[in-house]
Chain A
Amino acid sequence: MVPWSFLYEDPLTQNIISWFLFFYGVALPIVIIIGVIGLKGFIEITRFEKGDTFLYKLNPVTKLVFGVIVMVVASTTIWWIGAILTLAILPLYLTLNNGVKKFLYVVLLVFSTIVGTAWAAAPYTPPSVLQLVFPDTSAYQTVWVWPSYFSFMGYEPTLTLQALIYGLQISFRVTATLVSALLLILTTTTSDIFRMFTKMKIPLPLTFSIMVGVRTVPKIFEILDTSVKMQLLRGLSYNKPRVFRVGYYFYAGLMAIVPAIVYLFRGAKTLAISADTRGFRAYPSRTSLVNLGFSRLDYIMFGIVLALIILDVLANMYGFGRTIPYEGL
């Protein structure tokens, strides 16, 4: 019995608090993303900026390998290894150009991902799945009982402490991958990624399209941001109560999507012409002045990668392998 059980035994407080919890899980990540990170923040954490610390000096292949191995380790070991990896990688953002800002944005993104993912899993996880993680059903602690109509949204009748822990465990798998994947994009020039893909013998047209995509992602946020601001400047939400501002912001964002697509596609022609005039695809293979080599830093990084692989094997040998079941996910 939990001390606050009287709260869900009374229908009035049960309804109020249940809806509060519902909006907490749904809205908190959104408030963080819109209000604090914002489109500006997304531009900041998806765009390359010049820098000279060690991450910028690494060969892109090294960073790609690192990202892949972090993902492999996080998805094949127990959840707290993923959590430790997330915490260990996060400070690396401080070494980047404009590091403190990027670090704060990424921390917020990680936090909202944790809240979002945990709440996206916990209320929906059926007891049959939970039993695979926590076999002793008698030890389950009911934290909250939802009103019966919540089952229409797919909610389980009760929320247990175990379901919440399970939700948290899942979220750490996502965050470790997220923080390591963004590092490559943030610290590597588009042309270096191009060179990396060319070296990996990926066909030139495919590489070109990927690079256009990589370049476009931060641009999309930038264009949406401009478009939203323009609409507000032109008087949208003017003289309206402040409470509705989030709604107008959201509306302006939706209205910006089709014009943004048209704008981007129209700009495509200029990019294509400039690539063509510089002889793109004139020859089947590409030549380059810059040779991507491996330096001492790369070898140190490979050492870390190797250590991660050993950690993975050891963890699996000692029973700290994957303990989160994926049934039904």
Chain B
Amino acid sequence: MTSFKPTRRTLLKTGTAAAALATFGPGILRHASAQDADLAPYKSAQIDWQQVSGETITVAVIPASYFENLITLAPQFKALTGIDVRFEKIPPAQIRQKSVIDLTSKTGTYATHAADPMYYALYAANKWVEPLDTYLNDKSLTDQAWFKLDDIIPAWRSANGIDGKLYGMPYDGEVTIQVYRKDLYDAKGLKPADTLEAYMSNAAALNTPNDRVWGAALRGVAGAGQNMYIYPSIFREFGGDWMKGGKLTVNGPEAEAALAWYVDIMKKYAPTAAANWNWPDIADAFSQGTVASYIDAHSSASVINNPEKSKVIGKVAYARWPKGPSGKRTTSIWNWGFPINSALPEKKRKATWLFIQWAASAETQARTAHRFAGPTKRSGVNRTSVWKDPDYIKLMNGFGENFVEAAMGALQDDTDVDWRPRVPQWPAIGDTMATAIQSALSGQATIKAALDDAQRRIEPMMRG
């Protein structure tokens, strides 16, 4: 064995090489990983991935870790298909505005974008996006046996469908569940609530503002995807039907009871500021130990388990959304899906579909989730098979007791595709309802007056 004796020259050489690697290394390594990535699982599909090689498409996404993971894998997609993808990150509130402007003007700027399920009614009515069955049934574009559409969570698929036709392929999604502090519940001998009534009494039992612990928190800030993300579920659980007798009705007796429950719990057991909170604020408060329980998207689990911020790691457990007086549970299912912009020329539409097929495939879902090399793992994968993968389950159950069971149970059994009225006028209706809910919460209007006012404003929208 020869011993290594560094001379000035070898040290200099090593130093230069190290500096070069530090400078160019990440680029070289990234390039190499794209080249060396095992593309065999994709190539087993019976389609020609290279059929529109050379195309460039632009994809609009929101800034979120689950899209960041996908962007990291884009070189693999390029190696597989020869298609260049330009990603544009747009804040969630503006992505809707920008994509609607693009779709309305038929400029085809974004081949696809992260789309809200509630927009498909509007998109489909105007033929702004393509029905995806055309692409799914085209044997040259899709190997159905490989892609396995049925494996994609049915609830998210139905949320992205209009009249049985799929318009957006779910990429990442969420479902609302109960999140609670197991240590506080155990200390008082409480169980996670099975009914809304029990949820209220649990909140009452745990509400000790003097110790800076509030019993519960629900989204309070006004907006179509804010307080109108939580209220519709309560409305459905109280037996409400948006389209009573074919007419959009928001002020029936069920609506009054549902809104009364929401206002009651928020006023009595939530921090006063929660009236203006969105879910990141709730998750932040929970992670600081000031909220005993909340009902919101399961994806908040990563925030309340962030070791850099959270003080409640190891004390968190999960349960399904409590049942309402109607005896059923209705969670707010939601996902970011990818539609195909109709304004694109045919070749670009094909390229877009190949991108969507790649992003939604079981292989890419696994590579962006439990098999992802980076620090952030996704909790919203779109495939039942991945949810049943032992590696994924192990990783997800690190978020706390009963996480996968609660989320999976909710996704499979507690969903109701009509938890919000799926009409093209939704964005305006959602905002009107959101304002009504807030005026009831702030005490500016009685519950009945707020709902009657909303009904009065919504009626002309449905006529127009």
Q: Do A and B bind each other?
A: no
